[in-house]
Structure 1
């Protein structure tokens, strides 16, 4: 029985898991959805109520009925020939999503995570409701496209201030360039010029004072927590801004937090999640978000590769 890994070609965390699975004599078929349709072929027939057939590249193939688990690790989008018109590409994209995506999504295997659950969990406002319902602490949050409401929220938040952050990936790519938009504290000049707020939904949150931040990785029943200590002003606002200024420490979450994490995972129907928390100077854990495909490769001292390999090798119960 084979593990199917759907991921981009350059992913160190995936490379490590592939090696760990090989050490366990577990066959792996790794592909990127961006290979479809030019480098990846699907043949699937419905027989006795389930899909049978294969995924194939020029060098390898795997039978759909021989899969034990699928790791959906943020693969890239389908890529179609540039000779197709924009309308044709949109149509082909939609058909590939419903066809290839539909066949894969119906396979009765362990999914980490199922693409539908992965997509649903990406809605940050839903995450916050799930976390609050699970008894986790959350920060005051505003979602709006109205400048006057932003100013009112800032006034109500008091002297601690307010941050703004993206709902999705913190990067914008255009004209061959890439701009990063990390968490940012609002200043007086920001409030003086809120042009553009009206163009889309924006997220604002009250600033949570930090003793440290914590990244919690959940893989199946395993929970790993790492405290992140920021040693620069930039990292204190968003630790992704200055990795060189970070120190790490393995810790154990409080029982109540662990129960809350489990409840969020159950509510979102996830098998893998990368949680981010703030721990206040008083020791309160405050939920920020959970990423259904969050990175963990930089946490080198934590046995995450082994846990993921064991989980994928186990397959569906």
Structure 2
């Protein structure tokens, strides 16, 4: 335990089960913790911060808590709501307000003196781009499948002929609503060359040689600690579509993967990362992607508890590095 009264700030929306677990753990340890959603500004969040020679000084106030910006020990940046204008403000004025909130409140939250970030929001942003992920993974020593990003139909078809079977993956999980108002997701799926049409020109598309895998692995990194989980039982390509059929078992990464994962985190300046791998028939680990803010709370309780405690350790003791 510690007698440090500085707060840990958890930046997230209200409905975030993952953050709830970490907040509950910090409460059990009697660590002062404040939940803050920047999307609540200005309805339920206000700020009054002076910047001078000594750095930021002042407060960000929620409906239930007050944050002294000069006395924040750590920040867990999870899943905040989007920055938005006050209710009733529309058009260009709404865009202007949202930008001022993003660069004002968001800028302050990214500049808290002495705070330890898990992760810093700007490091999250840098690490979200899949082309950068794949390039950095390869430089770090991870094995990546042959990958093509293109909007040229002929090139995509040639890649499929050379490396097939191939998989299509979206470069970003955009919120997508169809004409009937249904929220849809685009998942990883095998790409049939016959189905690649001239409409490919409309946007970049990511095609990747399909790994002949026996299992998937989610490797969750919290600082120097790695929590590997082997995922079996998915009948299709993307295991996220089959949570009710999955089986989980702890797995230790081989030394070369461990070394490369730490190099990857260092390259992006990350403390946390959720890595997805495929295990092939020879037991080799193939890197797919790393979500710098990925989920982990659906794992069985013993695994989830370990990750919860590792994150709480980082937030409670920011000066200690495992």
Q: Secondary structure at the match of 1:65?
A: coil
Contact 1:37–1:78, Cα closer than 8 Å, also in 2 = no
Q: Secondary structure at the match of 1:196?
A: helix
Name the structure, 1 or 2, with higher relative contact order (CA <8 Å, separation 6+): 1
Structure 2: unaligned runs, 5 residues or longer: 1-5
Contact 1:41–1:57, Cα closer than 8 Å, also in 2 = yes
Q: Give the TM-score of the pair, scaled to structure 1.
A: 0.94
Contact 1:17–1:308, Cα closer than 8 Å, also in 2 = yes
Partner of 1:80: 85
Contact 1:170–1:182, Cα closer than 8 Å, also in 2 = no
Count of residues in correspondence between the two structures:
310
Instruction: After the TM superposition, list the runs of 4 or more consecutive aligned residues in structure 1 that deviate by more than 6 angstroms.
Output: none
CA RMSD of aligned residues (A): 1.4
Mapped to 2, the partners of 1:173 and 1:65 lie a distance apart of: 42
Structure 1: unaligned runs, 5 residues or longer: none
Mapped to 1, the partners of 2:298 and 2:63 lie a distance apart of: 33
Which of the numbers 103, 118, 121 marks the counterpart of 1:115? 121
Could you list the per-position Cα deviations for residues 250-298 of structure 1 after superposition, in whole angstroms to 9, with x for gaps in the alignment? 0110000000000000001101000000110011111000001100001
Mapped to 2, the partners of 1:14 and 1:156 lie a distance apart of: 44
Q: Give the TM-score of the pair, scaled to structure 2.
A: 0.93
Mapped to 2, the partners of 1:316 and 1:106 lie a distance apart of: 18
Q: Where do residues 1-317 of structure 1 align in structure 2 (5 Å cutoff)?
A: 1-107=6-112, 108-158=114-164, 161-169=165-173, 171-173=175-177, 176-191=181-196, 194-232=197-235, 234=236, 237-300=237-300, 301-302=302-303, 303-316=306-319
Q: Secondary structure at the match of 1:138?
A: coil
Contact 1:213–1:278, Cα closer than 8 Å, also in 2 = yes
Contact 1:46–1:52, Cα closer than 8 Å, also in 2 = yes
1:96 CA displacement: 1.3
1:188 CA displacement: 4.7
1:116 CA displacement: 0.7
1:170 CA displacement: 6.3
Q: Judging changes above 3 Å, is the alpha-carbon distance between structure 1 residues 170 and 278 closer, same or farther for their aligned structure 2 residues?
A: farther
Q: Secondary structure at the match of 2:70?
A: helix
298-307 or 19-28: which moved more? 298-307
1:231 CA displacement: 4.0
1:196 CA displacement: 2.4
1:167 CA displacement: 1.4
Mapped to 1, the partners of 2:89 and 2:206 lie a distance apart of: 37
